[in-house]
Structures are given as structure tokens and as C-alpha cells.
């Protein structure tokens, strides 16, 4: 008799006194503390790291360029992931319950999808910018101007936000899956069921820009190798001032392209598990265990925290800007015009 009463006694609900509440499967105190620390650190890094990137680029006039404006806008998308997505997902992942209401669940899901695609479109725009800069560095300033960068930024925000809102606020995401959605839904849960059509659109929306970036960066490094060989061949000869300037510009643009390609690779590695899991889960009847889904989600979320670390490793100007900001030097009148580059290339 005691054996039969054990299962019911062990069951915990997200809302004890609410009918239809989700079953809660809490972690023990040790793992809970580790998970909160891990996820909380990622959220803080995403917020403050990307905030430093935005302040650096927008405050220091030397950093006002079409490429850097794209990077600042990308940092804004990652910053918003850290503010609107990661803290609430952290509670959902650790507590196995959603305590923030169904309306906010829909908003949270929209933000999740919108900021993901916003980051992807920003990275695609940056790859086009880098391709033009490396293949024709002298004509690039005329082709990719600040207004052109502004258009790319606008599209990178408007399209993802409109798409996610249209899919989740109209209920189109679960068309044909109403019975499955009702069976899986409970009070204290927040996991959207997406039908096969929209999952395929999501997959293509991820793969097509990714393929474009791979092609562009492959061409960039082919051109970079050719430029390096030309510089070596004429190294022993006397260069004209125009050749010297062109070599310096080409070297600078190649270095920027290399750093930003690392950002693209980090994005693809972070988001690929989630995209593949979503595709397989939809076509295999939503059989993915909850913990696998959460792991895939947090691999993707942590990408928002990685970009500032990449910039800190490869951009000396970012490290110098952070020192000025943290020390309070940014409040001085002359700080906006200070030189952040140790050498002019």
C-alpha cells in the first residue's frame, strides 16, 4: 500500500492548486546552483559585453564606419537576447516551469526567433560588406556607405520582427497541429509547437544566408591569398605611394574579414544543433526529450555572449575602448575623438 502511494506523493506541479498544471521535475540543490550560475553568467555577459560593444562604437568617432555600425546593431540584437530571452529561459530551464504567463510566453518566443534571424541577417550583411572591402578596397568606401549600411540594418530588424510576429501572434505556427498543441499544453509550460511547413521555412531561412556567407568568405580568403602573394612579389621592388597605401588598406580589410569570419563560424556552430533538432523533432512527432531541447536552446543563447569575447581577443581597439569606458574616461569631453588605434594601416 505504501508502494502505491509513493508515485502520487513524489509528483510536483508548477501550480499546486491550479487544474491542468504542468508536472514539475525539479533538480536537486547542487545542480540547480550550477545551472543558475552557468545560465546567469551567460545572460550577464550577453548584456554587459554587448552593451560595451555598442557604447564603444557609438561613442568613439574613430569607430564610426559602415562595418562598425553593422557590428553595433548586431550587438544590440545580442543585448536584447540577454535582456528579454535568457533570464526567463533560465528559470524555465532550471525550474522546468514557466511562471510568467501565456501572453509573455508568446512575446518571449517571438523575441527568441526575431533576434536569432536579426543576428543572422546582420552577419550576412557584414559578409557582403567584407567581400566588397577585400575584393576592391579602394572603391569599397564609395559602394558601401553609411546610408547603405543603414538600409541593411533596417532590413535586418524589420524582416525578422515582422516574420516572427506573423507566425506566432496569428497562430499560424501550429496550423494542423491543434490536437497535438492541446495535448502538450499545460499551465506552467512554454514551448511552441511548430508545424512542418514553418519548420522548413525556418530551416531554409537559416541555410540560405549561411550558404551565402560561406561562399563569400571562401572567396574573401582566396582573394586575400592572391593579394598576399602580390605583395610578396613586389616586396623587393620599389613601391609607389599608391601601391603602399593599397597594400595597407588590403591588409587591414583582410584582418577585419578574418575576425568577422570567426564570428560567423561561432554563430553557425551555436545555432546548428537547435535548427537540426527543430527539424527532426517536427518530422518525428515531437519526441525530443526536454533536456535535449534545453541544451540546444542554451547553445544558441550563448552565442549572444560569445561575440564580445571574440572582439576582445582580436580587436585591440575594443580592449582600449573598454578600458576607457570602465575607468570612467568616457565622460571626458575629449574622449569621443581619442585615437584607439596603436598604428594607422
Domain residue ranges of the chain, discontinuous segments joined by +:
29-234+262-331
- Residue 82 has a pLDDT of 95
Residue ranges of the chain with pLDDT lower than 70?
1-10, 183, 227-228, 230-256, 342-345
Instruction: State the fold for domain 29-234+262-331.
Output: Rhopdopsin 7-helix transmembrane proteins (1.20.1070)
- Residue 7 has a pLDDT of 41
Pairing of strands 23-24, 12-13: antiparallel
Which residues make Cβ contacts (< 8 Å) with residue 111, sequence separation at least 6? Answer: 80, 81, 84, 85, 164
Beta bridge partners of 23: 13
Beta bridge partners of 12: 24
- Residue 231 has a pLDDT of 63
- Residue 254 has a pLDDT of 66
- Residue 112 has a pLDDT of 92
**154-182 b/e (C-beta count within 10 Å ≥ 16 → b):** eebbeebbebbeebbeeeebbeebeeebe
58 to each of 62, 158, 309, 331, 345, how far by Cα in Å? 10, 21, 19, 14, 22
Radius of gyration of the chain (CA): 24
- Residue 190 has a pLDDT of 86
Rounded distance between C-alpha atoms, residue 162 and residue 167, angstroms: 9
- Residue 323 has a pLDDT of 92
- Residue 3 has a pLDDT of 46
- Residue 80 has a pLDDT of 96
Rounded distance between C-alpha atoms, residue 273 and residue 288, angstroms: 12
Amino acid at each position: 500500500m505504501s508502494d502505491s502511494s509513493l508515485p502520487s506523493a513524489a509528483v510536483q506541479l508548477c501550480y499546486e492548486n491550479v487544474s491542468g498544471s504542468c508536472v514539475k521535475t525539479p533538480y536537486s540543490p547542487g545542480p540547480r546552483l550550477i545551472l543558475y550560475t552557468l545560465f546567469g553568467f551567460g545572460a550577464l555577459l550577453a548584456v554587459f559585453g554587448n552593451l560595451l560593444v555598442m557604447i564603444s562604437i557609438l561613442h568613439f568617432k574613430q569607430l564610426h564606419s559602415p562595418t562598425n555600425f553593422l557590428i553595433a546593431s548586431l550587438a544590440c540584437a545580442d543585448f536584447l537576447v540577454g535582456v528579454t530571452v535568457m533570464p526567463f529561459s533560465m528559470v524555465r530551464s532550471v525550474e522546468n516551469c514557466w511562471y510568467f504567463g501565456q501572453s509573455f510566453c508568446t512575446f518571449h518566443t517571438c523575441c527568441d526567433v526575431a533576434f536569432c534571424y536579426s543576428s543572422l541577417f546582420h552577419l550576412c550583411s557584414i559578409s557582403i560588406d567584407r567581400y566588397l572591402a577585400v575584393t576592391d578596397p579602394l572603391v569599397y568606401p564609395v559602394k558601401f556607405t553609411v546610408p547603405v549600411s543603414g538600409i541593411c540594418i533596417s532590413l535586418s530588424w524589420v524582416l525578422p520582427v515582422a516574420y516572427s510576429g506573423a507566425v506566432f501572434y496569428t497562430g499560424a505556427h501550429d496550423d494542423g497541429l491543434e490536437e497535438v498543441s492541446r495535448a502538450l499544453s499545460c499551465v506552467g509550460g512554454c514551448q511552441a509547437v511548430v508545424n512542418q511547413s514553418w519548420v522548413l521555412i525556418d530551416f531554409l531561412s537559416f541555410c540560405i544566408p549561411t550558404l551565402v556567407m560561406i561562399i563569400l568568405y571562401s572567396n574573401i580568403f582566396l582573394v586575400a591569398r592572391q593579394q598576399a602573394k602580390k605583395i610578396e612579389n613586389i616586396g623587393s621592388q620599389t613601391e609607389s605611394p599608391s601601391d603602399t597605401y593599397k597594400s595597407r588598406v588590403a591588409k587591414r580589410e583582410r584582418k577585419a574579414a578574418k575576425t568577422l569570419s570567426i564570428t560567423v563560424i561561432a554563430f553557425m556552430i551555436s545555432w546548428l544543433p537547435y535548427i537540426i533538432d527543430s527539424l527532426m523533432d517536427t518530422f518525428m512527432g515531437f519526441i525530443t526529450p526536454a533536456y535535449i531541447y534545453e541544451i540546444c536552446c542554451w547553445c544558441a543563447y550563448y552565442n549572444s555572449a560569445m561575440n564580445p569575447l571574440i572582439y576582445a581577443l582580436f580587436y585591440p581597439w575594443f580592449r582600449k575602448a573598454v578600458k576607457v569606458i570602465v575607468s570612467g574616461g568616457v565622460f571626458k569631453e575629449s574622449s569621443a575623438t581619442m585615437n584607439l588605434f596603436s598604428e594607422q594601416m
